[in-house]
Amino acid sequence: MPKPRRLLAVDQGSSGTKAAVFDDSGRLLRMAARRTPVSHPDVVAAEADPEGWWRALAECVREAAQGHHVDAVALCGFMHTLVPVAEDGTVTGPALLWPDQRPASAPADGLAASALDGLAASVPAPAGRTAVAAPAYGSCVERIRWWAARSPEAVARTRWFLPVKDFLRLRLTGTAATDRYEAAGTGFADPATGTWSPRVAAYAGIEPDRLPPIREPLDIAGEVTPRAAALTGLTPGTPVAAGTGDWMATLLGSGAVLPGRACLYLGTAGAVGGFASPDAAARLTEPLCFAAATSTGSALDWAAGLLGGLGGAAGALAEAAGDAPPGARGVVFLPHLMGERGDAPRPSARGSVFGLTLAHTRADLARAVLEGTAMWLRAIAGAELARRAPAELVAAGGGARSEVWLRVLAAVLERDLLVPETTEAGLLGGALIAATATGSEGRDTLAARRDRWVRTARTVPAAPDLVKTYRPLYDEFLRVEALAAEADAARREPHQSPRPTPDVDVTGGPAPG
């Protein structure tokens, strides 16, 4: 009888690292997590030290894999962020995260903007599709260009510009690579060919050969080195799959395949979407994102940090929201704490708390945060959910552990929510990739394995009374949002208008961080 395999998945989020070991039936055996800090050197800046991610990964893997022999590894990570590293893997600069708006806030260079317009016009769109222009603050191209202009010596020492999970896999295996989905998300890939665009790289101020080879998510991209094994406790030579971005992994691990099921992701950011079809899910293509909110879990973390005195931080604050009535006694929260992205980008959008009085409590503010994030998700995703009408909506991510938040979301969205057995869908998706990439039965079993592994634990119903209560409150939220949008537009300086970025065509729209 063959020995049961153990699969290790690692998910690097914007503000935390998670690692988990699964068995051959997709059961979670052990998980470990660490917070990883995000620094804000400016009110529109967001950056991190990738060395902290690597230290957190080593700690998490040691803890999660304790007592288990790991047979295969796969990683996923938040997207739209590149890490500059030297030939030996040493980090040569900070990672400018996807919410970092410094390039968009800087005065536009007329010559560069003109060159960029010409470049964008010269890039053909794929057949049957319209070329997508992403806002500057959401583009790796603009952020790398901004950093390269200010750090020429560091650029000269940089051998690779790697997406987040690929930097961590480089540290594990010593091999540089990325997958096609991550490559598309950087903005450096030509959407017509799927290869790196020399002209976009030149615009950003780097050579195209500093971008890694592009592989398939199910390819084996390397093996754990002796040095990495000593730090993580893994066995040298353990195969490591190429893996993919967190959104693809989350959709895979939540079984979000349209038209039957969509995913509501509640992490640092929030998103709604699903694979375009069963065939797309089987081939790991077309991971559609209907809408992406910049701040969901991060809004709760922010509020918990301000209020203090909470043993469980964000989790405790979410539970405290249950002590306040629906509507938070008139408090309305707009969750635009790092601008907004998506189909209608508003990088200058700012969060606000409206309606506070001396009578309001911590519970009221907590409730307002949960309700504000839920209502914003409805505002940006509701029309597409109604149009596509998936039979099921599954909640995933850390926020799916909050019963209060799930009840609020179900009522605001007016849809029952499925809660999977493994809410950390990105980790389960990574384990599915690791298992399929190394399985002896062949890769055509990915869909079948996914259907066996993704199990529903329970359903959170959209309570009729709560649905009725939230309808007028949602209208009030939209009125406050409209007033705030007017204020944002009035405050924005002309030079802050986002410039288009060439070649950016992340299939299905923006993905969460």
Q: Is the pLDDT score of 293 beyond 50? A: yes
pLDDT at 442: 55
Mean pLDDT of the chain: 87
pLDDT number for residue 296: 85
Query: In angstroms, rounded to a whole number, what is the distance separating the alpha carbons of residues 84 and 93?
Result: 6
| 100-124 per-position pLDDT tens digit | 888 876 655 443 443 444 444 333 3
Instruction: Kindly state the tokens that stand for 367.
Output: 């409730």
Residue 126 has a pLDDT of 33
Chain position carrying tokens 């998506």: 342
User: Which helix H or strand E contains 241, and what residues bound it?
Assistant: strand 239-241
Secondary structure letter of residue 125 according to DSSP: P
Q: Any long-range contacts for 21-25 (C-beta under 8 Å, 24+ apart)? A: 21/64, 21/65, 21/68, 21/70, 22/427, 22/428, 22/431, 22/435, 24/435, 25/452, 25/453
Q: Could you tell me how many helices (H) and strands (E) the chain has, helices first?
A: 18, 21
The confidence score (pLDDT) of residue 318 equals: 86
Neighbours of 129 (CB within 10 A): 11
Confidence of residue 15 (pLDDT cuts 50, 70, 90): confident
Looking at residue 113, its pLDDT comes to: 43
pLDDT at 448 over 80: yes
Which residue would you say has higher pLDDT here, 298 or 377? 377
pLDDT digits (tens, 9 = 90+) for 469-508: 999 999 999 999 999 888 877 776 544 444 444 433 333 3
b or e along 80-91 (b: 16 or more beta carbons within 10 Å of the residue's beta carbon)? bbbbbbeeebeb
The answer on pLDDT for 135 being more than 70 is: no
Burial label for 423, CB within 10 Å (0-12, 13-18, 19+), is buried
64 Cβ contact partners less than 8 Å away, ≥ 6 residues apart: 8, 19, 20, 21, 30, 31, 32
pLDDT of residue 155: 95
Structure confidence at residue 439 (pLDDT): 85
pLDDT given at position 342:
60
Question: What does the pLDDT read at residue 106?
Answer: 65
Identity (one letter) of the amino acid at 241? A
The per-residue pLDDT for range 170-213, each reduced to its tens digit, is 999 999 999 999 999 999 999 999 999 999 999 999 999 999 99
Residue-wise pLDDT for 227-267, tens only, equals 999 999 999 999 999 999 999 999 999 999 999 999 999 98
Give dist(CA 414, CA 474) in Å, integer: 12
Q: With bands split at pLDDT 50, 70 and 90, how would you rate the model's confidence at 127?
A: very low
Handedness of CA 494, 495, 497, 502 (dihedral sign): positive
**pLDDT level of residue 1 (50, 70, 90 thresholds):** low
Q: Is the peptide bond before 50 cis (omega within 30 degrees of 0)?
A: no
Distance CA 85, CA 66 (A): 30
Q: Which of 45, 39, 13 is nearest to 150 (CA)?
A: 45
Q: What pLDDT is recorded for position 111? A: 35
Contact 212, 393 (CB under 8 A): no
Lowest mean pLDDT among 68-72, 127-131, 136-140, 180-184: 127-131
What pLDDT is stored for residue 308 in this prediction? 72
CB 296 within 8 A of CB 266: yes
Cα 188 off chain centre by = 18
Asked if the model's pLDDT at residue 428 lies above 70, the reply is: yes
Provide the whole-model pTM.
Answer: 0.89
Residue 33 phi/psi, 5° resolution? Answer: -145, 150
Q: Which has more pLDDT, 344 or 11?
A: 11
Q: How far apart are CA 456 and CA 452, in angstroms?
A: 11
Provide the pLDDT for residue 303.
Answer: 86
Tell me the angle at which helices 362-388 and 464-491 cross, rounded to the nearest 10 degrees. 90
User: What pLDDT score does 415 carry?
Assistant: 97
Top pLDDT among 119 and 320 is at 320
Among 38-52, 406-420, 425-439, the minimum mean pLDDT is found in 38-52
Per DSSP, the residues of 46-115 read -EE-HHHHHHHHHHHHHHHTTT----EEEEEE-SS-EEEE-TTS-B-S-EE-TT--HHHHSPP-HHHHHH
DSSP secondary structure, 166-217, as one string: HHHHHHHHS---EEHHHHHHHS-B-TTTSSB-HHHHHHHTS-GGGSPPEE-T
> Going by C-beta distance under 8 Å and a sequence separation of 6 or more, which residues neighbour residue 218?
241, 242, 284, 433, 436, 437, 443, 446
Higher pLDDT, 474 or 441: 474
Q: Which residue has the tokens 């079984």?
A: 255
* Cβ atoms of 41 and 97 closer than 8 Å: no
- As a whole number of angstroms, the distance between CA 322 and CA 319 comes to 6
Task: Looking at mean pLDDT, say which of 57-71, 350-364, 428-442 comes out highest.
Answer: 57-71
What domains are there in the chain, each with its CATH number? 6-242 (3.30.420.40), 262-420+462-492 (3.30.420.40)
Summarize pLDDT for 280-291 with one digit per residue, the tens: 999 999 999 998
Q: Give me the count of residues in the chain.
A: 513
pLDDT at 316 over 90: no
